[in-house]
């Protein structure tokens, strides 16, 4: 079956930061993936692997010492090559809607949710004032993000974590952006709220919209993702259908297997060792020092081929979760 045209196409995306001493920190190395309308791709991995840096690059929000290479197309626009004027006027909110990691920090604390929604509606839709503006803001809140209208005149600090997340989601949806980017949207939420938050995000995927979910929460990814991209030490090391990744045959990269094995409902076995520093990445496989499959060939960097970047990918099905 032919997949729809990608909403986002990332090709050989690399990001590094130049430090004051002239050294470089390699945050993302040669990332490549496509994301089609109607699809959720979960980008997973431990904290510090480069996931959120990749998200910042798509929105043009990298700091001044960042250097990028490769491309990230949405339609005919390369997000990495776009200038700030283009990003501000045609990308943020219009082509890419951001659901942030910390909605409380994302929302302006001294203004009500209603005033922030109305400002966003004015900016992105052209509805300027009067009953039409009020109705559009209320529809964005209640109709799109299930945010109760009775809470619109509250300030962010008066909202629960779940309502603050819904308010941030409503803001992200106003411009009908074809790409919804959720960067660690469940951080700090209890499990019930995590499930409700990701279910709400999944509801907004459709014929003209895709979701890129950046998370370290594998349970959240399993719940809503169609595909999974696993990132380790700046590199995507596995790209797989979610059903295969979380079910049978399971992950093929040893690191990805280790992530699942560390879950309480599985073997609850942590991965030994620590990831390498991004400022001193090895020339070969970055996971080799922690891997019980490593051999001499792992001193050379494996390419992402057939969905896995590993010289010794797993072939035995992963043991199912315990009941």
Kindly report the CATH number assigned to the domain that includes residue 293.
Answer: 3.40.50.300
**Backbone torsions φ then ψ of 173, nearest 5 degrees:** -95, -10
- pLDDT tens for the chain, 323 residues long, are 556 679 999 999 999 999 999 999 999 999 999 999 999 999 999 889 999 999 999 999 999 999 999 999 999 999 999 999 999 999 999 999 999 887 777 899 999 999 999 999 888 887 666 677 888 888 888 888 888 999 999 999 999 888 888 899 899 999 999 999 999 988 878 888 889 889 989 999 998 999 999 999 999 999 999 999 999 999 999 999 999 999 989 999 999 999 998 888 887 788 999 999 999 999 999 999 999 999 999 999 999 999 999 999 987 555 544 44
Task: Print the domain residue range for 4.
Answer: 1-95+209-315
Instruction: Specify burial of residue 219 (Cβ count, 10 A radius: 0-12, 13-18, 19+).
Output: middle
pTM given for the model:
0.91
**Residue 7 forms part of a structural domain:** yes
**Residue 73 forms part of a structural domain:** yes
Q: How far apart are CA 114 and CA 120, in angstroms?
A: 10
Split into its structural domains, the chain has a count of 1
Q: How far apart are CA 3 and CA 1, in angstroms?
A: 6
**Per-residue pLDDT at 106:** 81
Kind and range of the H or E run holding 27: strand 24-36
**Per-residue pLDDT at 53:** 96
**Per-residue pLDDT at 316:** 57
**Residue 151 forms part of a structural domain:** no
Maximum Cα interatomic distance, the chain, rounded to a whole number of Å: 70
**Residue 276 forms part of a structural domain:** yes
**Per-residue pLDDT at 323:** 42
**Residue 251 forms part of a structural domain:** yes
**Residue 148 forms part of a structural domain:** no
List strands edge to edge, sheet with 235-241: 96-99, 179-183, 210-215, 40-44, 227-232, 235-241
**Residue 34 forms part of a structural domain:** yes
**Per-residue pLDDT at 322:** 45
**Per-residue pLDDT at 144:** 83
**Residue 296 forms part of a structural domain:** yes
């Amino acid at each position: 079956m032919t997949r729809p045209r990608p909403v986002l196409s990332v090709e050989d995306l690399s990001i590094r930061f130049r430090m004051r001493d002239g050294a470089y920190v390699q945050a993302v190395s040669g990332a490549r993936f496509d994301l089609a309308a109607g699809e959720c791709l979960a980008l997973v991995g431990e904290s510090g692997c480069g996931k959120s840096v990749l998200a910042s690059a798509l929105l043009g929000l990298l700091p001044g010492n960042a250097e990028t290479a490769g491309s990230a197309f949405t339609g005919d626009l390369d997000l990495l090559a776009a200038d700030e004027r283009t990003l501000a006027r045609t990308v943020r909110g219009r082509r890419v809607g951001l659901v942030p990691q910390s909605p409380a920090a994302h929302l302006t604390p001294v203004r009500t949710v209603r005033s922030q929604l109305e400002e966003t509606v004015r900016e992105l839709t052209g509805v300027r004032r009067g009953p039409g503006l009020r109705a559009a803001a209320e529809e964005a809140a209640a109709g799109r993000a299930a945010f109760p209208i009775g809470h619109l005149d509250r300030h962010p600090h008066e909202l629960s974590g779940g309502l603050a997340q819904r308010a941030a989601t409503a803001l992200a949806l106003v411009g009908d952006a074809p790409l919804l980017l959720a960067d660690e949207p469940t951080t700090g939420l209890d499990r019930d709220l995590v499930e409700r938050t990701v279910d709400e995000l999944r509801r907004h995927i459709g014929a003209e919209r895709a979701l890129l979910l950046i998370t370290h929460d594998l349970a959240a990814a399993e719940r809503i993702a169609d595909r999974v991209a696993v990132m380790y030490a700046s590199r995507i090391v596995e790209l797989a259908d979610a059903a295969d990744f979380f079910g049978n045959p399971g992950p093929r990269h040893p690191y990805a297997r280790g992530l699942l094995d560390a879950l309480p409902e599985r073997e609850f076995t942590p991965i030994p060792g620590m990831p390498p520093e991004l400022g001193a990445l090895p020339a070969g496989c970055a996971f080799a020092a922690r891997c019980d499959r490593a051999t001499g060939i792992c001193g050379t960097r494996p390419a992402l081929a057939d969905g896995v970047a590993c010289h010794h990918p797993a072939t035995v099905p992963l043991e199912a979760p315990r009941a």
